[in-house]
Amino acid sequence: MERNNKTEDTLAKKIYLYDTTLRDGTQSEEVNFTVNDKLRIARRLIDFGIDCVEGGWPGSNPRDIEFFDRLKKSSLPKDRISAFSSTRKAKSSCDKDPMIQALLEAETPIFTIFGKTSLLHVRYALSITPEENLELISDTVSYLKRYADKVFFDAEHFFDGFIEDSNYALKAVETAYKAGADAIVLCETNGGVMMDKLSYAVKQVKECLPQADIGIHCHNDCGLAAANSICAIENGAVHLQGTVNGLGERCGNANLCTLIPNLQLKYGYDCVGENIKELKALSMFVSELGNLTPANRDPFVGRSAFTHKAGVHVSAVVKNQVTYEHIEPETVGNIRRVLVSDLSGRSNLLYKAESFGLDIDKAQATEVLEKLKKMESLGYEYEGAEASFEMIVLKAMGKLPKFFDLVGYRVIDDKRSQLENPLSEATVMLTVNGETEHTAADGNGPVNALDNAVRKALIKFYPSLSDMKLVDFKVRILNGNDGTGALTRVLMESSDEKCRWSTVGVASNIIDASYQALVDAVQYKLYKASKAR
């Protein structure tokens, strides 16, 4: 079955991909890339197939100045990096304007200049006449063309300006083009223009400047950045600006991780070719360097993009993936995931067990399904705790060894004065093959102390626990109306040198919920170690 709608007229049409993650993306809340981060991201973007990476605004801040200084000494291809700035100031000249001169000092062969195309901004933001603004555009573009291979003109607030006064907006971009701009980039700066109005404006620019390369730069304040960008491309734009993961001011910029696969796989445009299989990895790389939590529901690259939960869906996908997937997840470097929950059918369990390499029969699957529904009614959740789920399956199959038995535990938190930190101590008693261990340990909190005590008791029996560590810990209150006596769910993520795994515990006592998740994590580690021998 055909999965896309490529058309012959777009099949070989090249889209010039321009990434502004390192400049516009850094204006996103909670994003703070170091210079090293920016250099690493620039290289990754270029390797992925991005035609031009906007490095920043030299002269506007010390970090961008350092970036361009280090760029000169780096092995990055300079012809793939752009430096960004504004048109010269009204009462200055290009050779005396500090921002323009800082741009020249960046020594990149590509400059990107933004200028006003909205009369509202000309009159109130710049406080100059419309004619003076056109002079700024013409003078700046023509001046920079003497020093650069390419000059791109970002027509700021173009679409709002076009709605206000289409003649002036068109005159502004025509001025930039006649001054030598290599691309006229129409900026939907406020993110509030609807697709029909944007499409009409792009058509008018193409009629006015039929020989010009038209670009599009959209923001996502109405959730339309990707859709508006595609509308512009379909109406003649060939230069696409955006950011990885849609980072950017307010609601963000057009998301290249959404646009590139749509344009390449659905419309047949020439974007990044076979490199598209690295899309998921690129998305994760930028999130990791930005210390950002990836958005699970992002199209194509999100963890949930090819995740199935409903039993009817899973049953159909097992028979034919096209039933509930518009592309194969591997095309963009993602994977198919099947969740198990109280909504699950037997198909989910069989598929999930198979992914773990477990050959479960129908009777065992029915047993696991009933257990699963009972546990979830008590507040357990296995969608984010796949290690706990795997152990339920192993128990039903009779394949999970009993590595140890808990006799009891005690946790003490002691704060002796306001000026001292609390002291946490845990004592555990457990048995391994009939041998009893009674051990105490302290920690920087009750869960840490309990973790230390359990592993201290087990380490002589199971040395493989030495490289296991806790990497994430999440607590959720399940019935908030009960206040501090509410049921608590703990999700715990652990890791060793080879992998990560997640476990779950539920109790009205947060320590007991943590202990359940901890025991599952230890059991899972020991099971995997036993299988590796």
pLDDT at 342 over 60: no
pLDDT at 281 over 50: yes
pLDDT for position 142: 98
Q: How confident is the model at residue 415 (pLDDT cuts 50, 70, 90)?
A: confident
pLDDT at 12 over 60: no
CB 239 within 8 Å of CB 152: yes
Listed range (142-151, 470-479, 500-509) with the worst mean pLDDT: 470-479
Residue 524 to residues 57, 390, 418: CA-CA distances in angstroms?
Answer: 50, 9, 40
Q: What is the pLDDT of residues 24-51, one digit of tens each?
A: 999 999 899 999 999 999 999 999 999 9
pLDDT for position 481: 66
Q: What is the pLDDT of residues 351-395, one digit of tens each?
A: 666 666 777 777 787 787 777 777 877 888 776 688 888 888 888
Helix (H, G, I), strand (E, B) or coil at 110: strand
Per-residue pLDDT, averaged over 137-160, amounts to 98
User: Within 10 A of 497 (CB to CB), how many other CB atoms are there?
Assistant: 7
pLDDT for position 421: 83
Q: What is the pLDDT of residues 181-204, one digit of tens each?
A: 999 999 999 999 999 999 999 999
CB 332 within 8 Å of CB 280: yes
97-101: Cβ within 8 A, 24+ apart: 98/59, 99/59, 99/60, 100/140, 100/143, 100/144, 101/59
pLDDT for position 391: 87
What one-character DSSP code corresponds to residue 401? -
Q: Which residue has the higher pLDDT, 1 or 205?
A: 205
Partners of residue 152 on adjacent β-strands: 112, 183
Query: Domains in the chain, please, with CATH?
Result: 16-289 (3.20.20.70), 307-396 (no CATH), 405-532 (3.30.160.270)
CB 439 within 8 Å of CB 453: yes
Round to whole Å and give the CA distance between 505 and 511.
10
Q: Which of 117, 215, 115, 219 is nearest to 158 (CA)?
A: 117
If you average pLDDT over every residue of the chain, what do you get?
Answer: 90
pLDDT for position 40: 93
Q: Which of 530, 526, 392, 421 is nearest to 465 (CA)?
A: 526
Percent of the chain whose predicted confidence (pLDDT) is above 70:
91
Q: How confident is the model at residue 265 (pLDDT cuts 50, 70, 90)?
A: very high
Helix (H, G, I), strand (E, B) or coil at 213: coil
pLDDT at 345 over 60: no
Q: What is the pLDDT of residues 69-122, one digit of tens each?
A: 999 999 999 999 999 999 999 989 999 999 999 999 999 999 999 999 999 999
- Give pTM, 2 decimals: 0.73
pLDDT for position 1: 36
Helix (H, G, I), strand (E, B) or coil at 530: helix
